């Protein structure tokens, strides 16, 4: 998809280095305002890199074998296919769509937690407070919602956030706060990006960070000399010892 000939972006020479501004335009089927391009640029930057998360580690591990950059990046894409790493904002969008007519958000949140279910987009493996990226996305959600006269999505997200934080706190879980996926879902939804494209858009953004890590691993002497990632492992199963093992035929095993 080529950049629009009448639009200027942040790239060298006044032309957009990527067709960023055209993605929301394509999603809406029409030309959109500059604020959409700025919002998408900001979202891509916020998602570009985030230390040694699962996909970035996968990229660096493959790069440590001296595999091609494309192969290492493909490992990152593969990691995103797992539900514990990729697709969270799509699940947040699914939650928002299901709750658009819900009158008792606090009651719904309580019922979810009582049933042992998750509130999508809440909590982070590293942050014990609100993900700093979520703060920017929340503001973007508010601005885009007002512009499109669809403020209900940001309002609904804020209601879920407030109810979830209150309910978690009442259960002694005071460190569970919104992560980057919580507000990126309504932001992308307002741009017209469907849920099943949210992970690919995340991969587009993260590819910059992946490439930086891969290049550092391959060419930046990150480890002083070429070295494979080879973590040690510790067997924690039951072991009968060097002389105490007795062979049992398959048919006799439990």
Residues annotated as catalytic are 85, 124, 181
* Closest of 192, 119, 127, 125 to residue 153, by C-alpha: 192
How far is 191 from 151, CA to CA, in rounded Å? Answer: 13
How far is 159 from 164, CA to CA, in rounded Å? Answer: 8
* Closest of 148, 153, 147 to residue 97, by C-alpha: 153
Locus of tokens 């539900």: 83
How far is 163 from 146, CA to CA, in rounded Å? Answer: 23
């Amino acid at each position: 998809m080529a950049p629009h000939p009448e639009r200027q972006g942040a790239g060298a020479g006044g032309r957009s280095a990527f067709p960023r501004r055209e993605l929301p335009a394509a999603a809406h089927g029409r030309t959109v305002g500059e604020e959409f391009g700025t919002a998408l640029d900001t979202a891509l930057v916020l998602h570009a890199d985030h230390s040694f998360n699962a996909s970035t580690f996968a990229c660096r591990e493959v790069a440590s074998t001296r595999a091609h950059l494309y192969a290492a990046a493909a490992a990152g894409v593969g990691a995103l296919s797992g539900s514990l790493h990729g697709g969270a904002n799509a699940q947040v969008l699914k939650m928002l769509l299901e709750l658009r007519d819900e009158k008792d958000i606090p009651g719904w949140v309580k019922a979810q937690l009582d049933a042992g279910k998750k509130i999508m987009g809440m909590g982070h493996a590293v942050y014990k407070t609100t993900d700093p990226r979520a703060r920017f996305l929340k503001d973007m959600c508010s601005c885009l919602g007002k512009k499109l006269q669809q403020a209900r999505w940001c309002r609904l997200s804020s209601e879920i956030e407030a109810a979830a934080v209150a309910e978690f706190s009442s259960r002694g879980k005071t460190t569970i706060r919104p992560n980057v996926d919580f507000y990126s879902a309504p932001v992308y939804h307002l741009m017209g990006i469907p849920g099943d494209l949210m992970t690919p858009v995340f991969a587009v953004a993260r590819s910059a960070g992946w490439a930086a890590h891969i290049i550092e691993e391959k060419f930046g002497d990150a480890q002083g000399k070429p070295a494979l990632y080879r973590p040690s492992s510790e067997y924690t199963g039951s072991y009968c010892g060097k002389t105490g093992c007795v062979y049992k035929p398959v048919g006799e095993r439990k």
